[in-house]
Amino acid sequence: MGVSQRYQDSWEGYWRETSDAPGEAIWDSDPSLTAAPHCEIFLPHADPELPVVDLGCGNGTQTRYLATRFARAVGVDLSHAAIEHARRADTAKVAEFEQLSLVDHESVRALAGRVGDTHVYMRAVIHQSEPQDRPAVAAAVAALLGERGRAFVVELTSGSKTLFQRAAEEPGGGPAKLRRVFDHGLKPAAATDDEVPRLLGDAGLRIIDSGDTTLPQTEYLADGTRIDLPARWFVLAPA
């Protein structure tokens, strides 16, 4: 079982056409705006002596930060090109990176066997997964935690879809980095607000804490306002 070829190709194409320049991907925000504040919420619930796996790590910017807060950090991504970006960027070799589809149950189980009980960090993966794959993505989170792991999952809300629509209606079809996402057939903010907690619960995860936040992007609206996408975060434990 795996993701559709169209979906795989969309991500490979996107990352192949993305340079190594920090921030060229619209979601490649500085960790001070993303993983760092997330860790302040997450670490009171999570043993830093356990490893952390960054699901959907992209070019590894957040993974490298997580490596400074946890005993070991592993970044995984569906895209081979993204993993190549991540390995090149990790010049100090602080993290590990591997290509992996979260929909491939055998690969997820094999990863769990290699790392043992682990924490999971997942930023905005369910919302852009194809509808039929979202239960498997949530199940991958649960499979990796084991008994002692905890998860920090943050997903875009419907307010993000509204903001994307507003941006796309700007002159020229909206900001260039956002146009590139749509040009590759990627569909952000596709999951509904009630779908995410339901999927997590169905996967055998218990919500310890949750709250509203934004995910700052590396792109701006025509009026100079940074695109900060409305989102919701969840701290999760095995049910």
Q: Looking at 169-234, list the stretches that DSSP marks H as alpha helix, in order from N- to C-terminal side.
A: 176-183, 195-202
Residues 6+ apart with CB under 8 A from 79: 8, 11, 12, 14, 15, 58, 99
Phi and psi at residue 132, to the nearest 5°: -70, -15
Reference 102, options 127, 75, 136; nearest CA is 136
| pLDDT, position 218 | 96
CA distance 149 to 147: 6
Phi and psi at residue 228, to the nearest 5°: -110, 110
pTM score of the predicted model:
0.96
| pLDDT, position 1 | 58
| pLDDT, position 168 | 86
| pLDDT, position 2 | 76
CA 189 to chain centre: 12
Question: CA 176 → CA 50, 91, 168, 220, distances in Å?
Answer: 39, 29, 10, 9
Whether the CB-CB separation of 68 and 59 falls below 8 Å is answered with no
CA distance 77 to 56: 5
| Average pLDDT for runs of 10 along the chain of length 239 | 86 95 96 98 98 98 98 98 98 98 97 98 95 96 97 95 89 87 82 94 98 96 94 97
Give all domains of the chain, ordered by start, each with its CATH number: 5-238 (3.40.50.150)
| pLDDT, position 37 | 98
CA distance 14 to 173: 18
